[in-house]
Homo-oligomer: A and B are copies of this chain.
């Protein structure tokens, strides 16, 4: 079973309140590029992630706004920032790392919200049944190429609205020298 890869660079999701603090009351989150997942988009807005140790500039805000603010980084980013974010699913932020976000209009100190995203596959309930994955929470996925290999613990994220696509971070992608649009193989 083949699946298309999407590589997620470090990015930020914002709640409405935090968006207004960072970008101003009148700011609008505009669509620069639609992503594969329906409704999701790369926006025109960027923030700086700042910690005691260092900072990473020009981190893109993905839209639309959410009910929570979340900062997704790779372990390589985490070493640079001097933080230890846990590996978590989106929205599972309790006890995760704190960082400061700086926008053109203001900044916010997050006591938690910074994570390394779990490797995951977006899939519909119909596809879970059709492909024989019902009852499974995760799979292993084989990556092609001269630095290929297998990624363990790839979680299913199931929703009727999802496009079938696998998301990995830049560390997974660079280790195995794969990129967005490459094809991986799900191992049952």
The residues of A with any CB-CB pair to B shorter than 8 Å are: 74-76, 79, 87, 116, 119, 140, 146-153, 169-172, 174-177
Q: How far is the CA of A147 from the CA of B177 in the complex (A)?
A: 17
Main SS of chain A's interface residues?
mixed
Inside 8 A of A171's CB, which chain B residues have their CB? 76, 171, 174-175
Q: How far is the CA of A151 from the CA of B79 in the complex (A)?
A: 22
Select A79's contact among B74, B150, B174, beta carbons within 8 Å: B174
6 shortest A-B CB distances, which residue pairs? A175-B175, A150-B150, A171-B175, A75-B174, A171-B174, A172-B175
Having A74-B174, A149-B149, one finds 17 other A-B pairs with CB under 8 Å, namely A75-B174, A75-B177, A76-B76, A76-B170, A76-B174, A87-B146, A87-B147, A87-B177, A116-B147, A146-B153, A147-B151, A147-B152, A148-B153, A149-B150, A150-B150, A171-B171, A175-B175
Q: How far is the CA of A74 from the CA of B172 in the complex (A)?
A: 12
Contact sample, A vs B, 29 pairs, CB 8 Å cutoff = A74-B174, A75-B174, A75-B175, A75-B177, A76-B76, A76-B170, A76-B171, A76-B174, A79-B174, A87-B146, A87-B147, A116-B147, A119-B147, A140-B149, A146-B153, A147-B151, A147-B152, A147-B153, A148-B153, A149-B150, A149-B151, A149-B152, A150-B150, A150-B152, A169-B175, A171-B175, A174-B175, A175-B175, A175-B176
